[in-house]
């Protein structure tokens, strides 16, 4: 069995996602396990080159993680024919330009979401990739969460009967930074001019979650809000938070399923996880968090009584059963990287391409429009 190298140009690996999920939990973990096995038994070993603006910073990262190659010159890196893949997890706003350059240079593309900050740019990217015949992929990590994989299994097993509705709650309190606790998310998330806003950030995710698990998204109604209008940035400076930090969105899905998802950086948790989805069906319901998933079937459904004169005696949270961890759930970012590497090197099937990424941007853009115009909007098919 042969082992071959796959050169990957990695941009944005000093950031939260680039470093933790993509470099450490995915590429380095794949290297540590001896690479990715292809269907014919050959192995592919990722050979990253780290790209960044600050030579010292990426040099230190490379040293810490035993990576041989770094550069501050992306254009030069794109000229090296040994590096077949370009990966981007840097800023949303620069992504479309960088990915365009990489496609023009003949690279296969893998990148974070959103693929662009506007739908026209996202569609142009997908078209260009198709025209140039490069393989391409977009991170759709939520589908690989153990909790949502359990929901997919329940659906495939027919557990829900006819699916009726989905309720998602995403979010947690992001500290303002002005009273002794620093914010735990980068300040660009709260500035429109820097590609921030929870609608652009999260509706991209909800598009592929809804499309793949519950039914194709057909229409959206979204109300955004800027609950916290001023925050303190990484350097201790107060700035105006001028974009949405919460979104209350309802979706109509193919098959008649109704979905409602609240996304907020201004909420405090009284639920099992940072994101939870409750799915109600005629034959059963399930609630999934990041890892856990509990179910209640039609025959186990209790019959609570509405009586404001006495305190509630039923412990509703205890009336659900855990879906067991019968299989090992690996890090979702890593699973998706492995699939993409197989797709690039062995042409295995792959679904999560730039067209799927563009659909996410489409839903975000329609969500923003729905909010601005205070109305429901249909989600048309994209022509690419
Ligand atoms: N899949 C997910 O769940 C998920 C979660 C969070 C963020 N993201 C996406 O990942 C991307 C990065 O988000 P993050 O939270 O890691 O942000 P971050 O601020 O931590 O990292 C941003 C990265 O971009 C680089 N960068 C910033 N400005 C630059 C410039 N002018 N030129 C070159 N490089 C520049 C930074 O050095 C850093 O490496 C965003 O597109 C975001 O939407 C995805």
Question: Is 92's C-beta closer than 6 angstroms to any atom of ligand 1?
Answer: yes
Question: Is 195's C-beta closer than 6 angstroms to any atom of ligand 1?
Answer: no
Atom of ligand 1 at shortest range from CA of 17: 16
CA of 286 to the centre of ligand 1 (A): 33
Question: Is 50's C-beta closer than 6 angstroms to any atom of ligand 1?
Answer: no
Q: Does pLDDT of 248 surpass 90?
A: yes
Question: Is 74's C-beta closer than 6 angstroms to any atom of ligand 1?
Answer: no
DSSP bridge partners of 276: 169
At 343, give phi and psi (nearest 5°): -60, -45
Atom of ligand 1 at shortest range from CA of 141: 1
* CA 248 – CA 169 distance, rounded (Å): 10
Strands (E) in the chain, as ranges, are 3-11, 36-37, 43-51, 69-71, 83-88, 108-111, 136-138, 163-171, 217-225, 230-232, 238-240, 246-253, 258-264, 275-281, 284-288, 293-297, 321-322, 377-378
309 CB-near residues (< 8 Å, 6+ apart): none
In the prediction, which pLDDT does 159 show? 98
**41 band by pLDDT with thresholds 50, 70 and 90:** very high
**1 band by pLDDT with thresholds 50, 70 and 90:** confident
Q: pTM score, two decimals?
A: 0.97
CA of 96 to the centre of ligand 1 (A): 13
* CA 204 – CA 210 distance, rounded (Å): 10
| pLDDT tens string 120-131 | 999 999 999 999
In the prediction, which pLDDT does 114 show? 98
Q: What average pLDDT is seen over the chain? A: 97
| pLDDT, average across residues 342-355 | 98
Per the CB < 8 A criterion, the answer to whether 230 and 264 are in contact is no
Nearest to 135 by CA among 108, 103, 107: 108
Question: Is 138's C-beta closer than 6 angstroms to any atom of ligand 1?
Answer: no
* CA 20 – CA 15 distance, rounded (Å): 8
CA of 15 to the centre of ligand 1 (A): 5
* CA 78 – CA 157 distance, rounded (Å): 46
In the prediction, which pLDDT does 184 show? 96
Q: Does pLDDT of 281 surpass 90?
A: yes
Please state, for a pLDDT cut of 70, what percent of the chain lies above it.
100
Question: Is 117's C-beta closer than 6 angstroms to any atom of ligand 1?
Answer: no
Question: Is 141's C-beta closer than 6 angstroms to any atom of ligand 1?
Answer: yes
Per the CB < 8 A criterion, the answer to whether 25 and 104 are in contact is no
Per the CB < 8 A criterion, the answer to whether 142 and 214 are in contact is no
Q: Does pLDDT of 377 surpass 90?
A: yes
Signed CA dihedral, 119, 123, 124, 125: sign only:
positive
Question: Is 12's C-beta closer than 6 angstroms to any atom of ligand 1?
Answer: yes
Protein residue with its CA nearest to atom 30 in ligand 1: 91
Nearest to 287 by CA among 333, 319, 251, 248: 319
* CA 87 – CA 52 distance, rounded (Å): 12
| pLDDT, average across residues 261-276 | 98
Q: Which domains does the chain have, with CATH numbers?
A: 3-140+332-350 (3.40.50.720), 142-329+362-373 (3.30.360.10)
Atom of ligand 1 at shortest range from CA of 11: 39
Please state, for a pLDDT cut of 90, what percent of the chain lies above it.
99
In the prediction, which pLDDT does 354 show? 98
| pLDDT tens string 141-198 | 999 999 999 999 999 999 999 999 999 999 999 999 999 899 999 999 999 999 999 9
Question: Is 88's C-beta closer than 6 angstroms to any atom of ligand 1?
Answer: no
- Cα separation values, 51 from 47, 66, 97, Å: 13, 15, 16
**291 band by pLDDT with thresholds 50, 70 and 90:** very high
Per the CB < 8 A criterion, the answer to whether 47 and 7 are in contact is yes
CA of 6 to the centre of ligand 1 (A): 24
The reply to whether omega before 114 is within 30° of 0 (cis) is yes
Q: Does pLDDT of 214 surpass 90?
A: yes
In the prediction, which pLDDT does 383 show? 86
Nearest to 90 by CA among 185, 25, 11: 11
In the prediction, which pLDDT does 112 show? 98
Q: Does pLDDT of 323 surpass 90?
A: yes
What DSSP state is assigned to residue 19? Answer: I
Atom of ligand 1 at shortest range from CA of 201: 43
Question: Is 54's C-beta closer than 6 angstroms to any atom of ligand 1?
Answer: no
In the prediction, which pLDDT does 358 show? 98
* CA 287 – CA 322 distance, rounded (Å): 10
Question: Is 18's C-beta closer than 6 angstroms to any atom of ligand 1?
Answer: yes
Q: Ligand 1, residues 9, 10, 18: which to mutate, most atoms within 8 A of Cβ?
A: 18
Per the CB < 8 A criterion, the answer to whether 243 and 190 are in contact is yes
* CA 8 – CA 24 distance, rounded (Å): 14
* CA 112 – CA 96 distance, rounded (Å): 11
* Beta carbons within 10 angstroms of residue 65's beta carbon: 16
| SS3 category, 124 | helix
| pLDDT, average across residues 31-58 | 97
Question: Is 91's C-beta closer than 6 angstroms to any atom of ligand 1?
Answer: yes
Question: Is 197's C-beta closer than 6 angstroms to any atom of ligand 1?
Answer: no
| pLDDT, average across residues 35-41 | 98
* CA 367 – CA 379 distance, rounded (Å): 10
């Amino acid at each position: 069995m042969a082992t071959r190298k796959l050169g990957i140009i990695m941009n944005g690996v000093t950031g939260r996602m680039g470093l933790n999920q993509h470099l450490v939990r995915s590429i380095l973990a794949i290297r540590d396990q001896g690479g990715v096995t292809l269907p014919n038994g050959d192995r592919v070993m990722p050979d990253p080159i780290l790209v960044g603006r600050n030579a010292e910073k990426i040099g230190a990262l490379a040293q810490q993680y035993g990576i041989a190659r770094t550069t501050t010159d992306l254009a030069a890196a794109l000229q090296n024919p040994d590096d077949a893949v370009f990966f981007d997890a840097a800023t949303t706003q620069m992504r479309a330009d960088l990915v365009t350059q990489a496609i023009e240079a003949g690279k296969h593309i893998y990148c974070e979401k959103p693929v662009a900050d506007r739908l026209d740019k996202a569609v142009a990217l997908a078209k260009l990739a198709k025209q140039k015949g490069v393989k391409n992929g977009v991170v759709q990590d939520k589908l690989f969460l153990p909790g949502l994989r359990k929901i997919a299994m329940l659906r495939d097993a027919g557990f829900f009967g006819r699916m009726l509705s989905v309720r998602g709650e995403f979010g947690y309190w992001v500290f303002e930074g002005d009273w002794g606790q620093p914010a735990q998310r980068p300040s660009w998330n709260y500035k429109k001019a820097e590609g921030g806003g929870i609608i652009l950030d999260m509706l991209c995710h909800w598009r592929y979650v809804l499309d793949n698990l519950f039914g194709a998204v057909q229409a959206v109604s979204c109300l955004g809000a800027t609950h916290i209008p001023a925050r303190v940035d990484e350097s201790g400076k107060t700035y105006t938070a001028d974009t949405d930090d919460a979104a209350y969105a309802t979706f109509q899905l193919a098959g008649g399923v109704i979905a409602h998802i609240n996304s907020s950086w201004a909420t405090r948790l009284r639920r099992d996880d940072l994101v939870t989805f409750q799915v109600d069906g005629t034959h059963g319901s399930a609630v999934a968090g990041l890892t856990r998933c509990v179910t209640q079937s039609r025959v186990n459904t209790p019959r609570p009584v509405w009586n404001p004169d006495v305190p509630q005696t039923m412990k509703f949270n205890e009336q659900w059963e855990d879906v067991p961890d019968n299989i090992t759930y690996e890090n979702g970012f890593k699973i998706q990287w492995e699939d993409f590497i197989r797709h690039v090197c062995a042409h295995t099937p792959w679904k999560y391409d730039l067209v799927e990424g563009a659909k996410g941007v489409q839903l975000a853009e329609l969500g923003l429009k729905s909010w601005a115009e205070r109305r429901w909007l249909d989600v048309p098919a994209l022509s690419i």
